[in-house]
Amino acid sequence: MIKRITTSTLLAAVLTLAGTSVAFADPSQGWELPAMSVPAAHVISQGEGVTVAVIDTGIRTGHPVLEGRATEGPDFLQANDKSQSWYGEHGTAMASSILDVAPEAKVLGLRVVRDEDDPNYRGGSMTNPDALSQAITYAADHGADVISMSIGSRVLWGGFNERDLKAIDYALSKGVVLVGAVGNLGDKSDGGDNAISYPSAYPGVITVAASTPDGSRASFSSVHSYIDIAAPGVSVYEADYRSSGRTSGEGTSAACALAAGVSALIVSKYPDLTPRQVERVLEGTASHASRGYSAETGYGVINAEAALQAAAKLTPEKKVAIGEAGTGLHFGPGDDGTPKTYSQGVDFFKAGVAAVGALMTLLTMLGGFWLFKSGRRAQRQGSGSGEPRGPVAYPQYVQQPVLPQQNPYQQPAPPPGQWPPRQ
């Protein structure tokens, strides 16, 4: 999972004193909704008739923020621990952010990873390697219109799974919008290595970075050329699994959930738009779309109201089925305009380590070649064998004088005074 949660002492005290008051179900205390123009967007759409699948750590359907609007689907870890105190921490928070943006939508919780407080947590790795592909396929087959994936691999050069990619293609072919968090590995001072993270890196997934109140990238948000948009990712007012209230969270997880909520608003109002068109209206109306693309925040922070207004002007495209011509590009039937590469400068430390490693490898290869040649030379010289020595590995021969050759058809010369020769 991709998570960063912080809780202030003051907020914790407020939550304790307030108990289960209605105020906890009200997201108005957060800054994130106004930053995305969600209150104005609610005049147009509130997510009616849309189901958002939350592929995460499971959800607590009885939490006051979720109650009546959430259901729990299969546990793809095939565990039996829903009654545990730590169950559904991350997923519940994500579901609450989705419902804050799309209050009339429904959420479907699908568990594929464990929470950090789970005693069986192993760094976010999946105990069932097929959990994600199974969950995506299940969501697509059970009425999900949007899939929110605030999860991610933490392997520098790994995480890609062909079955996951096929499941994503399947969901896209059915018109399901998929949203993913880019990851929290962008802060080198905090140990981040900016690794590529799946599922957000798969083609067809709308990738979301985390932004601050001024619209810039949150320091932890990873930087990649496949980022599409940004959404608030610090001090987000989300459900607290430990109580019936809310807490302050941060991370690209929260940004992803908020973006999934905005996607639900669009799909609710314009259900015939393809996932690619939903992505394009989000990008085209984001905060710095007119200024161009950035690998830090994509096209900028989402503007839900502007996205809905832009979506009203679109003619729905034909959905592209798996295997048809045009699939396999950056997104669906065509390129979404995102640059394939983006210069991030040089990490001189890593470049230096790589150069030293390459030099050592070269020296090792040269040393091995020298030893090989030396061995061959010793073999040719036959050290201590009494055989002739020389630069060639073959026996040496003494050159013999060459005798004049005789023509077999030539008669021998007659003795002096005899002519003609005797026959």
Backbone angles phi, psi at 226, to 5 degrees: -100, 5
- Does residue 253 carry a catalytic annotation? yes
Per the CB < 8 A criterion, the answer to whether 229 and 283 are in contact is yes
Report how far residue 308's alpha carbon sits from residue 262's, in angstroms, rounded to the nearest whole number: 9
Exposure of 411 in the CB half-sphere (CA atoms within 13 A): 7
Active-site pick, 42, 56, 63, 197? 56
Query: At 108, phi and psi to the nearest 5?
Result: -120, 115
In this structure, are residues 135 and 164 in contact, taking their beta carbons and an 8 Å threshold?
Answer: no
Which residue's structure tokens are 């009654």?
83
Active-site residue, selected from the candidate residues 253, 263, 287, 294: 253
Reading phi first (left if > 0) and then psi (alpha if -120 to 50, else beta), residue 143 is in: left
**DSSP per position, 173-212:** HTT-EEEEE--S---GGGT------TTTTSTT-EEEEEE-
3-state class (DSSP) for residue 331 = strand
Known catalytic residue: 28?
no
In this structure, what token pair is assigned to residue 140?
């697509």
Return the SS3 of 19: coil
For residues 256 and 197, the answer to whether their CB atoms sit within 8 Å is no
- Cα–Cα distance, 191 to 248 (Å, whole number): 23
Paired tokens of 227: 């980022």
Long-range CB pairs of 121-124 (<8 Å, 24+ gap) are: 123/154, 124/1, 124/151, 124/152, 124/153, 124/154
Q: Which two tokens stand for residue 357?
A: 């490693």
Give how far Cα 118 sits from Cα of 32, 79, 141, Å: 29, 12, 29
Q: Mind giving me the DSSP string for 105-169?
A: -EEEEEE-S--TTSTT--TT--SSTTHHHHHHHHHHHTT-SEEEE------TT----HHHHHHHH
Tell me, yes or no, if 216 is annotated catalytic.
no
- Identify the active-site residue in 90, 148, 173, 228: 90
Say which residues have a Cβ less than 8 Å from residue 192's Cβ, sequence separation at least 6.
Answer: 184, 185, 186, 220, 222
Q: Which residues are catalytic?
A: 56, 90, 253
